[in-house]
Structures are given as structure tokens and as C-alpha cells.
Amino acid sequence: MPAKSSSFGAVMKEAFLHQPLQERQATQSLRQLRLPEGKTDFCSNDYLGMIYGGLIEKTMSSEDAAAPHGSGGSRLLAGNYPAIEALENLLAGFHEAPAALLFNSGYDANLGLLSCVPQRGDTIIYDTLIHASLRDGIRLSFARAFSFAHNDVAALDKRLQTATGNIFVVTESVFSMDGDEAPLAAMVHSCRQYGAHLIVDEAHATGVVGPKGQGLVQALGLQDDCFARVHTFGKAVGCHGAVILGSDTLRQYLINFSRPFIYTTALPESSVAAIRTAYGLIPQLQAERQRLRQLIAQFQAATLPFQKLPSTTPIQVVIIPGNETVRRVAARLQAAQLDVRPIQSPTVPQGSERLRIVLHAFNTATEVDRLIQELCKTT
């Protein structure tokens, strides 16, 4: 009897992987990687054009450009060095926080914060639309967790009334898939009333919101009312990494108990130099932030054949229910050389599939007009 081929054996061993992939294929929700194709960018999170314009590379000193690309170990072993601590001090000062701690990404920061701070007997209350990284951190915590309806402070208050232990309220300042802002002032009031600790992810507000791009919390003057803030650098900042802002005690606690901080190689000096250079540029980009506001107003004023969510941020959302339908509309825009991507379920709830349109300071009014015209042709 002939022996089965090794390739057949490999397929049999991976059968448990094929079934969920086939299910995704059947529901037209299978994710695939794509390369950029030179289309007009209405997709990336490069809100200020930091990457598009090569601003970091043009500004960085020759000494910083030659910085090492490795750190040699975790921060607690060989990976701590003067430049990384100097950057933390700079970030704490810019964001008006007592202390700062760098993480390798926004995902690591959210995972590291929420997995180790809330303990058994504590309560986490979170906006139902928070990012997956926040949700994953919550899942790793031993605390009880409850969601509340998106941006609904009355629903938050109802949850707070029955919360036990140390209470943590988790939200984003600008929501990544809806583009709207959290009612932070009202949430601060609720947290004060019930003695809760407010945690705010500022990923999509960093660099964009506020007169110097400090984020929504500082724009509202609420920095002293937050237990922790997370700013990430992979969006408007144009590089990589993230920072958790809070008290000196929180920083020391994370250094001792946050596994994504303890058990990973530290950011290299080249990344630290890029972040430092970007933060030197961000306060100066008032013209870019003004340009964004003009383009946002232009898009919001347009009449479209689809539901358009209200948003004062670069994230503009057009709801087109159904994975097949939203993919078809996106394909038409792609054919018109407009890089707009569909957001399908299960990334968003079924029935709320959408085009996530991102405006940038480097987009032109003519390009936005063409986008609007093409959207009106897709009915």
C-alpha cells in the first residue's frame, strides 16, 4: 500500500484551521493582506502627513539617524539607557502627567495596563466600542467586567451604582471605527461621584486634537482627573511605540507587574530618536490641523446616498450594511484610484459594516470632492 504523501499529512494535521477559514470565506469576511498601489490615500492613520512628507527623516539629526536599531534586552536587564528615560520625562512634561512609561506598541500598552492593574474583586466598566487591545487586556484581568452603551453616561452611571472593589472606567477619547469623541467631562463627573478610576486611550487624538496636538484630555483640561492615559505613536505621530501616563506609583507598579513591559526587548534608540523628533514637530503643525478641520467640514457638509456618521475628527464613517455590499462599493472607489477600505463584520457588528474614510492634511479639497462624487455614483 503506497505511503501517503507528506503534503497530505500536513493538510490533515491542519484541518482544524481550514474550517474557520472556510467559514470566513463563506460569509465574505476573510481578511487578506494588500500592498499599497499608489491610489489617493483615504485609508492610513497618517493624519498629519508625518509619514507622507517624511517629516521625521527630514528633521532628525545625523547623530539620531545613526542610532542603534537594537536595545540589547528588556528594560529591567540590558535594555534601559539614558535616552529612553529622557524621552519618558519629555512625554510626561508635554502631556502634563507626573510620570510616563514607554511600551513597544499601543497594543502592548493597553494589554499591559489592564491585565495587571485591576484585581480579583475589582470592577472594570468599559464603552462597548473600545479597541480590541483594550478588550484583550480586560479579558486577561481577574476583575469583573461590564460594558455600557457607547458614549451613554446614564448607562455608565447605572453600572457604577453596582460596581464593587476598585472601579476602572475605560474609554477611548476618539473612537477608531466611529470617529466620534467620548463625553469625557461627563464621565469625569461620574467617576468622581463613584470613586472610579478613569482610563483613556488617546490613540486617535494624539497629534490631532488640541492646540498643540496633546489629545482630547488636555484639550478639555482633564489631565488631573485620569488615572491613566495611553498615547500611541503609530498614527499621527508617524513612528512606533506607546506611552502610559499616570502617577509615579502607577509607573513603578507597571515596571514590577506588567508582563508586556517586563518580558519584552525594549525599544531601540532609533525608535526613541524618532519619537523624540516627532514630538518636537507636532506642536508646530497648526496649519496641518487647520487643514484637517477644513476637509472634515467639507466632507460632513456633503449629501451622500448612504448614512454618514457625524464626526469632527479625521475618521469619517459611511455605513453600508452587509459585507458583500460594502466590499462592492469599496471596489468601485478603488477602481477610481481612491484608497478607501471596507470594514466588515466581525470587526464591526453585523449590520453596521462601513467605509472607514480617513482624511489627511495632505489631501486636497479636489480629492475630497472627487471622493464625494464617486460615493454618489455607487448607488
Q: Catalytic residue positions?
A: 45, 131, 172, 176, 201, 204, 235
Task: Name residue 169's amino acid.
Answer: V
Phi, psi of 308 (to 5 degrees): -120, 125
DSSP state, residue 177: T
Residues 6+ apart with CB under 8 A from 211: 219, 286
Q: How far apart are CA 242 and CA 240, in angstroms?
A: 7
Count other C-beta atoms under 10 Å from residue 308's C-beta: 19
For the chain, helix, strand, coil in percent to 5 are 40, 15, 40
Q: How far apart are CA 15 and CA 185, in angstroms?
A: 51
Q: How far apart are CA 325 and CA 57, in angstroms?
A: 40
Q: How far apart are CA 70 and CA 125, in angstroms?
A: 38
